[in-house]
Amino acid sequence: MKCLRITCSPPNPTIHGQYNGSQHSYDYGIIIVLKCNIGYYVSNNAITNRKCEAKDTWSGYDPVCQRITCLQPNTIANRRYDSSQTSYDFGSVMSPICDEGYNMANNVIERVCEGINKWSGDDPHCTLVACNTHVSIGNGWLTPNQQNYNYNTTVELSCHDGYEVKDGPSRRTCLEDGSWGNLPLQCIKIICNDTSNVSHESINKYPSISFGEVGNVTYNYSFFHLKDGFTEGNCSANRRFSWTKSPEIGKCLVDTF
């Protein structure tokens, strides 16, 4: 009588997984371990260690490698994802998107399914867009006057006497990019340029001065002369010169022979 060594043939192959070693035959007592491919896991907590216990007999059961999947991430206020599937395979990439009027506060650009119902990174955090948190307007003010102006808030820019809004409308709305638009919230001095209260034909030079400044109108003295009043005046808030005494201009007499 002859005793033969107990051996086991390789176990049944496992789709999406393999055992360590690739022998044609395994001696009695040998333990081999199944490892699933990347993106797969052993389902039902099956034992991956298998032992050759008798001729062509392995302990346990043939394990199954199942695809790793992730469920849709948790729903959080003011944000969504670029896909609305209920299940995603391992390695799937999703990009969070904040709702209109919100910004990504923690800079989460994308999330990857990297384990069973496990997404990479943190949950995205979206915060309400704010425009110029502490707005300070020189020579003017905003209504309502507050420290924070959130997205879609509308304000009215008012200027002090002698100043006006530089470019654009006085009513502005906080935009989604956190700005009040391409035009500055700025009040600039009014420039006097109204010559309706003097005789235009007599003017040689009308000074361009700002509100509160003093200037002199220069007349064409070749043909006109100052009969009364003063040529010096202040720039008023209504864009006109304010005269101490309005000038009265007379035409010069031309001798004829």
Tell whether 224 is covered by a domain.
Answer: yes
CATH code: domain of residue 39: 2.10.70.10
What's the whole-number average pLDDT of the chain? 85
Q: Write down the pLDDT at residue 198.
A: 62
Q: Are residues 202 and 245 in the same domain?
A: yes
- Does the CA dihedral 120-126-132-133 come out positive or negative? negative
Q: What is the pLDDT of residues 97-156, one digit of tens each?
A: 999 999 998 888 999 999 999 999 988 999 999 987 666 788 899 999 888 899 999 999
Tell whether 257 is covered by a domain.
Answer: no
pTM for this model (two decimals): 0.64
Distance from CA of residue 131 to its chain's centroid?
A: 11
| Start-to-end CA span in the chain (Å) | 163
Q: Are residues 60 and 73 in the same domain?
A: no
Percent residues over pLDDT 90 in the chain: 42
Tokens of 96: 């969070």
Domain boundary among 49, 67, 85: 67
Q: Is the pLDDT of residue 39 over 50?
A: yes
Q: Are residues 121 and 80 in the same domain?
A: yes
Tell whether 134 is covered by a domain.
Answer: no
Tell whether 26 is covered by a domain.
Answer: yes
CATH code: domain of residue 185: 2.10.70
Q: How many domains does the chain have?
A: 4
Tell whether 247 is covered by a domain.
Answer: yes
Tell whether 234 is covered by a domain.
Answer: yes
Other C-beta atoms lying within 10 Å of the C-beta of residue 203: 15
* Cα 157 to Cα 127: distance, rounded to the nearest angstrom: 26
Tell whether 1 is covered by a domain.
Answer: no
Q: Are residues 36 and 12 in the same domain?
A: yes
Q: Write down the pLDDT at residue 162.
A: 85
Confidence tier at 256 by pLDDT (50, 70, 90)? very low
Tell me how far CA of residue 185 lies from CA of 14, 30, 58, 147, in angstroms.
Answer: 69, 80, 80, 15
Q: Which domain holds residue 232?
A: 191-251
Tell whether 211 is covered by a domain.
Answer: yes
Q: 194 near 236, Cβ under 8 Å?
A: no
